[in-house]
Structure 1
Amino acid sequence: SPRLLPNPRRLFHPDKTYLFAGVTSDLGLLVAKWMAENGARSFALASRNPDIPPLWLQEMSKLGANDVRVFSMDVTDPSSVARTCDTISQTMAPVGGVVLGAMVLKDTLLENMPLETLQGTMAPKVDGSRLLEDRFHNVPLDFFVFMSSMSAVVGIRGQSNYCAGNMYGRALVANRRARGLAASTIDLSTVFGVGHFANAGAADLHTVRANLEGLNTLAIGEAEVIDSFHEAILRGPPGASATGEVTVGLGSETAVAGPERPPVRAAWHDDPRFAHFTAREGDLRRGGGKESRAAGRPSRNAREELGRSTSEEGRLAALSGCFVERIQEIMQLAASSLRTDVPLTDLGIDSLVAVDLRGWFFKELGVSVPVLSILNGESVKTVCQAVLSQYQPQQTGIWGPLLFTFAL
């Protein structure tokens, strides 16, 4: 849910240097300027071919950032990284934060991709993050932000090389966090108006928009970039327990291609990894009706189904059917592949899915189902039998979501 971000002036220190590695384009300069507006005073901007506009440097000086230095550094070259970092440590304030945003885009289908293309795209992400980690793993940083891409979240056709590099960086961030070090990741969608596509031609922008529609990812602007960076710093301090990954620009599961065209499913809709993100189809109203994602028919209401049943066997069959439908929706399983007599864990149900199912039972029937009963080898049939033994027709699940939140 939306929330107010804390004052960013508390995040930056005038007596620390902030290193921007491989991100000296206008996207990086946008973030650096925002940091200067909120108290940062010392910056080291390093990339292979830095080209910093003099006007931007003047603006930074007016903001009080009087120690902004530009370095020519190849983030994939150990000697270049070592030389630059040595100079920074010897001549500037201690480094308090690192941002890695180096990127090379060479979109090619994997089956047609030369090894050189694969290596050339992965190197800035893989070698760059590894070399900076080697250099700063013993430095008490306030943040270590790895700038990733939506390609590492939903997958983008022709970008398997870029995706692989981003996945390495995300894994390195997870490793740092496991060691109690500062680290976070930003998965950015396509940024219009600034960055790589700021000066793109009409044909390129048309292609980008078509890809966005197919993936149902949203183009973002400067404000979203700043907010995501702000959030990444808040989520990435040393010892942080919350997730350190910030994804911005992912739309809903249903993409609308145009005003005269019907809703279409996002390309990632059937990927089980998004089971917890996709909205339940029964909650998406179209023309006043409810559709079941699993079966293409009106979604069944468990309470109504039980009310129509006159026998124990009928109630068990009705509840089992509704429960199976819910599992299909979450797990993207075909009806023919889901048996009701096998342990739920054999269907791939983990703790996150179990929490979802527990909430569904409470919301539908007002019955509290322990998560452990779902994870301890129970089947659809045995879980439903236990629910029916507790179910009272007059119970209501209207307070289910609220009580469920406190129960967790």
Structure 2
Amino acid sequence: AHVGKFVVSGAAGAVDLAPGMGGLKLRGDSTYLVSGGLTGFGLATARWLADGGARHLVLVGRRGAATAEAATALAELRAAGVEVEAVAADIADPAQVQELVIRLRRDHPPLRGIVHSAMVLSDAPLLDLTADQIRSVLAPKADGAWNLHRSTLDDPLDFFVCYSSMSALLGNRDQANYAAANEYVEALVRYRRAMGLPALVIGWGAIGATGYVARNQAIQDVFVRQGVYDLEPERAWTTIAHGLRTGASSLYAASVDWRTLRQFSRTVSASPCFSLVDGGQASHEGHAGNATAALADLAPNASPEERYRHLEQIMVREVCGVLGIDPLGLELDRPLQALGFDSLMAVELIVAVERATGHGLTRMSMLRPDVTTAELVAEVAGIVGTAPAAANGSRNAAAALPDAGDVRVEDLSDHEVDMLLRELETGEAGDE
């Protein structure tokens, strides 16, 4: 009896969409191979394949089953009725991969699926990377992917899934070799799709509960400060299933606070690819524009000493937030490096200070091994025009700090050089 129409408007807010939950239904009469499948996220993937119906698994790793983690998982899989073989092989060696595939064709049910999760990390600043570090990271991921591709061209695969990383999309500190390896894998997937072959690549963020990041608390802490959080394994499996069901060639899956990450990633803040995420650059500018309120909430007639103390409190809060320590325990005259301060934290502190005060630390002084919180307070006070009280000794000393010209470039990491270039190109570091 109704005449007319209903209109549902989403103008008042964003509508979040997610693929339906559930795993894949895999064949019990086929074989599925997982490279890097005997540790971490690769081993978790093997368990997920078994939960999806796989009854013949071949898990490949350089050490085979020679780890407590692998032994326990293999026993559990076999107890669940899965025929699983742990193979000690170097996936980067084409002869070993070819020999393995020939044996699988002879002794196992047809190979129907491959998940390439093998990886090695060997992080260092770009200029410090050795040839061995580059090769050791490229070999398992890039060479391994190519060897699996070439050796299985005649196999009736339902899927060929490669694990990549957000580092290929955003870059990551000290991981130029790893980012390059992941970009190679993504290019290989595009190549396979152009050939009409099945292929899917997924760039993962931080995976929770298992894998390299989950085992390294220091890396987790850095990610959290940058707005990158753990992705639950269940959501990872949903992502793979969604990609395979829809025929996608490339997906990225991560749990990210984009507004926070934008403060730390020039790729996110500058690239048009991310311009619509959380309001894009406009939200960042609005956030920074409101930051100066932290310095404006004192009475207009506050004395220079009161304004300086207020600024000092702001700086202590930001320094302790980056260092992850209690503000009550911070000694203002103690060198930050003695508290664990490093070049990545220097970048974070520049952003945090700019966010809190509306003014950035543009000098390289914080990279000196003996720089203290008191000196940084004095520097920001000079930038914002908050004069320190002369009677408060070294805590409030406004003596000039070293400029960029006092820092030896050859002693800097790539991120520190990036900070120096930022100063020079904006003209804020003087004529040196």
Please classify the TM superposition score into its range, dividing by the shorter chain length. Answer: 0.5 to 0.7
Letter of the structure 1 residue corresponding to residue 52 of structure 2: N
In structure 2, the CA distance between the partners of 1:98 and 1:282, relative to structure 1 (3 Å rule), is: closer
User: Identity percentage over the alignment?
Assistant: 25
Question: Which segment drifts farther, 90-99 or 274-283?
Answer: 274-283
RMSD of Structure 2 on Structure 1 (CA): 2.8
Q: Work out whether 1:246 is the aligned partner of 2:263.
A: no
Letter of the structure 1 residue corresponding to residue 64 of structure 2: P
Identify the residue that residue 73 of structure 2 maps to in structure 1.
56
User: How do residues 195-214 of structure 1 correspond to structure 2 at under 5 angstroms?
Assistant: 195-200=211-216, 205-214=217-226
Identify the residue that residue 5 of structure 1 maps to in structure 2.
20
Compute the displacement of 1:130 (Å). Answer: 0.7
Letter of the structure 1 residue corresponding to residue 228 of structure 2: T
User: How do residues 149-298 of structure 1 correspond to structure 2 at under 5 angstroms?
Assistant: 149-200=165-216, 205-214=217-226, 216-235=227-246, 240=247, 243-255=248-260, 264=263, 266-281=265-280, 291=286
Compute the displacement of 1:20 (Å). Answer: 0.6
Letter of the structure 1 residue corresponding to residue 125 of structure 2: L
Compute the displacement of 1:134 (Å). Answer: 0.4
CA distance in 2, matches of 1:71, 1:142: 22
CA contact (8 A) 2:35 2:42 kept: no
In structure 2, the CA distance between the partners of 1:273 and 1:97, relative to structure 1 (3 Å rule), is: farther
CA distance in 2, matches of 1:149, 1:265: 18
TM-score (norm 1): 0.61
Structure 2, unpaired ranges of 5+: 1-15, 292-432
Letter of the structure 2 residue corresponding to residue 33 of structure 1: R
Letter of the structure 1 residue corresponding to residue 46 of structure 2: A
In structure 2, the CA distance between the partners of 1:273 and 1:85, relative to structure 1 (3 Å rule), is: farther
CA distance in 2, matches of 1:35, 1:192: 18
CA distance in 1, matches of 2:157, 2:276: 32
In structure 2, the CA distance between the partners of 1:191 and 1:250, relative to structure 1 (3 Å rule), is: closer
Q: Work out whether 1:78 is the aligned partner of 2:83.
A: no
Q: Secondary structure of the residue that 1:107 maps to in structure 2?
A: coil
TM-score (norm 2): 0.57
CA distance in 1, matches of 2:264, 2:175: 21
Letter of the structure 2 residue corresponding to residue 146 of structure 1: C
CA distance in 2, matches of 1:151, 1:225: 17
In structure 2, the CA distance between the partners of 1:272 and 1:14, relative to structure 1 (3 Å rule), is: same
How many pairs were matched up?
Answer: 272
CA distance in 2, matches of 1:233, 1:83: 28
CA contact (8 A) 1:143 1:182 kept: yes
CA contact (8 A) 1:74 1:80 kept: yes
CA distance in 2, matches of 1:165, 1:48: 18
CA distance in 1, matches of 2:271, 2:155: 39
Q: Deviations over 1:284-307 (max 9, x none)?
A: 5x9xxx94999x9xxxxxxxxxxx
In structure 2, the CA distance between the partners of 1:9 and 1:192, relative to structure 1 (3 Å rule), is: closer
User: How do residues 303-342 of structure 1 correspond to structure 2 at under 5 angstroms?
Assistant: none
Q: Secondary structure of the residue that 1:144 maps to in structure 2?
A: strand
User: How do residues 393-404 of structure 1 correspond to structure 2 at under 5 angstroms?
Assistant: none
Identify the residue that residue 353 of structure 2 maps to in structure 1.
none
CA distance in 2, matches of 1:199, 1:270: 29
Q: Deviations over 1:305-333 (max 9, x none)?
A: xxxxxxxxxxxxxxxxxxxxxxxxxxxxx
Compute the displacement of 1:171 (Å). Answer: 0.3
Q: Which structure has the highest helix share of the two?
A: 2
In structure 2, the CA distance between the partners of 1:104 and 1:90, relative to structure 1 (3 Å rule), is: same
In structure 2, the CA distance between the partners of 1:68 and 1:113, relative to structure 1 (3 Å rule), is: same
Identify the residue that residue 46 of structure 1 maps to in structure 2.
60
In structure 2, the CA distance between the partners of 1:53 and 1:271, relative to structure 1 (3 Å rule), is: same
CA contact (8 A) 2:202 2:250 kept: yes
Q: Secondary structure of the residue that 1:268 maps to in structure 2?
A: helix
Letter of the structure 2 residue corresponding to residue 57 of structure 1: L
